[in-house]
Amino acid sequence: MKHIQLYNDDQLPMMGLGLWKIPGANAPNAVHEAIGVGYRHLDSACDYGNETEVGQGISRALSDGLCRREELWVTSKLWNTYHRREHVRPALERTLLDLGLDHLDLYLIHFLLLEGIPMGYHL
């Protein structure tokens, strides 16, 4: 699989599995199977409602020896109701707990709504 080399030498897999709309009951097997066929980038978000099950799939893939954690790139996203400073850390900690991980490779703001500032406006 091809990667994009980032400025800090991290390697971001160019293709990833988007986990939106995968029902929780299907997520463990979907993630396990995807890792088994070579996917190394998993794109998740707390708002998808399946991070616990995604974590089960990751855990099973790791314990089955399909890859090492260092070979995975796991992205998640901070939902828009958790943007206040005091909500960010608890939201991240919940995501890590749900995924069964000790770190994420990328944590994004899911989307940003600024009152009075149109989307696409660069601050």
What's the number of domains the chain is made of?
Answer: 1
CATH of the domain at 39: 3.20.20.100
Tokens of 89: 């850390």
Instruction: Note whether residue 122 is domain-resident.
Output: no
Each residue of 93-106: pLDDT tens digit? 999 999 999 999 99
Tokens of 63: 């314990």
Tell the burial category of 35 from Cβ atoms under 10 Å away from its Cβ (0-12, 13-18, 19+).
Answer: buried
Residue-level pLDDT at 48: 96
Residue 82 annotated in active site: no
Q: Are strands 11-13 and 3-5 parallel, antiparallel or unpaired?
A: antiparallel
Tell the burial category of 33 from Cβ atoms under 10 Å away from its Cβ (0-12, 13-18, 19+).
Answer: middle
Instruction: Note whether residue 114 is domain-resident.
Output: no
Residue-level pLDDT at 114: 62
Residue-level pLDDT at 84: 85
Instruction: Note whether residue 13 is domain-resident.
Output: yes
List the catalytic residue out of 48, 82, 107, 121.
Answer: 48
Instruction: Note whether residue 98 is domain-resident.
Output: yes
Kindly tell me if the per-residue pLDDT of 70 is higher than 60.
yes
Instruction: Note whether residue 117 is domain-resident.
Output: no
Instruction: Note whether residue 101 is domain-resident.
Output: yes
List the domain range (segments joined by +) for residue 65.
Answer: 3-109
Residue-level pLDDT at 123: 43
